Amino acid sequence: MTVIDVNVEQDSTVEVSKGKNGLVRTGGAVAALVGVLAILPSVLSPFNLIFAAQILIYATVALSLQLLWGRAGQLSFGQAAFFGIGAYSYAIVGTRYDIGGWLSVGIAVAVPVLMAFVLGYFLFFGKVRDAYFSIVTLAFVLIANQVVISWRSVTGGDTGLTRVPGLVLPFGAFSIDFSTRNGRYYLAATVLLVGLLVLLWVRSSSFGLVLEAIRDDENRAAFLGYNTSWYLTAAFTLSAAIAGLAGGMFASVSTLAAPDMLDQFLSIQILTWVAIGGRNYLAGALVGTVIMRILSDQISSFLTDSWPLVVGLFFIIVVLAFPQGIVGELTRIKNRNVARLGGRRANVSPK
């Protein structure tokens, strides 16, 4: 249980930097992110721009897992299930019923939300937690994958659905066309920012603090009068909502929905992104996804099929040597230096 102790300590150091100062810093980081996102289209080639768009959406899923795993302490192998269900919901209503616009976005979010709420309510109120929860989410992604592959008449089976329409969102008299090449990138960037802002709100809200309390010691949180099962169900549902939104928009950006958007391998990949970046930090999910997607892409250009080998090795090394991930390790180094210099936060003992 030493890991948990380390988490608490590191988190408390993070808490110290909150308040007015932290708000300014968070605002600055988001502004910098928006700046980078705005510059990318004029720097990248059209091909790389779509690649970047996909990374931004993957990062959104990673953020959604960070909420459930890093903040609420429940590891899910099923994040790809909600991503894929969002993608298929969007693709099915788009290709079969000609539904687009806000309604299709709503459906891509609502279907996974409904499923997550039912599953989460069923599990968390039955005291299913930790390893048991992880295994059940693994079963869930296996079920979803089987259904998608064999329900050919609706999902297209192994080939999935192609020529999924892009998204056009009406705003009163105007409408924004997200189906053009740059439009798809801006859609991905918007999805990421929406997800990030929601999760930043969670981090600063009492809801997020109760989730952290449950992660650190559920009994204590329950003694304080919080209905922990409701909080966990809510976290699971919100996480599925963001994953589903990301999935639906991924289908729109890449114009297809395929079974590999909804399998255990993608679930595990999402897990590696979050773990490598740092599971206790929102920035960790972002950094981990960007680094690992670019790394995978670079490796696959000369190792064709064996990039999972390198990813796997890298992942093992990071978990063994830096259990807090890249961002966690950087935070630790920074805190240690601050303490050594006898700064204001010298009382925060570094590990």
Partner 1 sequence: MDSLISFVLNAAFLVSILSLVALGLGVIYGLLGVINMAHGELIAIGAYTVVVLTELGLPYWTALAVAPAVGMVLGMLLEATLIRRLTDRPLDAILVTVGLSLVLQQTLKAWFGATARSVPSPINGTFDLLGVSYPLFRVMIIVVATAIMALTFVFFVKSSFGLVVQAIFQNREAAVTNGVNAGKYNRIAFGLGTALAAFAGSLLAPSAAVLPQMGAFYLGPAFIAVILGGEKRLLGAVAGAAFMGGLEVFIGDTFTRTWGRVGVLILAIIVIRMWPGGLVREPKARVA
Give contact residues for partner 1 (rule: CB under 8 A).
1-3, 75, 122-123, 126-128, 131-132, 134-136, 138-140, 142-143, 146-147, 149-150, 264, 268, 271-272, 275, 305-306, 308-309, 311-313, 315-316, 319-320, 323
Using the 8-state DSSP alphabet, how is residue 227 labeled?
A: -
Q: Token pair for residue 138? A: 């693994």
Residue 33's CB is within 10 A of a number of other CB atoms, namely 16
Q: How far is the CB of 312 from partner 1 (least distance, A)?
A: 3
Q: How far is the CB of 122 from partner 1 (least distance, A)?
A: 6
| Residue ranges of E strands in the chain | 168-171, 174-177
Q: How far is the CB of 239 from partner 1 (least distance, A)?
A: 18
**Residue 73 vs 94, nearer CB to partner 1:** 73
Q: Token pair for residue 21? A: 């100062």
**Residue 80 vs 311, nearer CB to partner 1:** 311
Q: Round to whole Å and give the CA distance between 184 and 240.
A: 22
| Residue ranges of E strands in 48-188 | 168-171, 174-177
**Residue 271 vs 286, nearer CB to partner 1:** 271
User: Nearest CA to 52 among 63, 38, 66, 31?
Assistant: 38
**Residue 138 vs 338, nearer CB to partner 1:** 138
**Residue 90 vs 273, nearer CB to partner 1:** 273
**Residue 309 vs 346, nearer CB to partner 1:** 309
User: Nearest CA to 272 among 281, 285, 253?
Assistant: 285
**Residue 74 vs 252, nearer CB to partner 1:** 74
Q: How far is the CB of 190 from partner 1 (least distance, A)?
A: 31
**Residue 149 vs 198, nearer CB to partner 1:** 149
Q: How far is the CB of 24 from partner 1 (least distance, A)?
A: 34
CA atoms in the 13 A half-sphere facing the CB of 188: 26
What backbone phi and psi angles, to 5 degrees, belong to 158?
A: -65, -35
* Partners of 174 in the β-ladder: 171
User: Nearest CA to 64 among 237, 204, 194, 239?
Assistant: 239
For the CA atoms of the chain, what is the radius of gyration? Answer: 20
User: Nearest CA to 262 among 187, 114, 161?
Assistant: 161
User: Nearest CA to 315 among 263, 260, 351, 270?
Assistant: 270
Q: How far is the CB of 16 from partner 1 (least distance, A)?
A: 25
Q: How far is the CB of 247 from partner 1 (least distance, A)?
A: 21
Q: How far is the CB of 293 from partner 1 (least distance, A)?
A: 15
Query: What is the DSSP pairing of strand 174-177 with strand 168-171?
Result: antiparallel
User: Nearest CA to 44 among 147, 164, 167, 189?
Assistant: 189
**Residue 121 vs 186, nearer CB to partner 1:** 121
Q: How far is the CB of 297 from partner 1 (least distance, A)?
A: 16
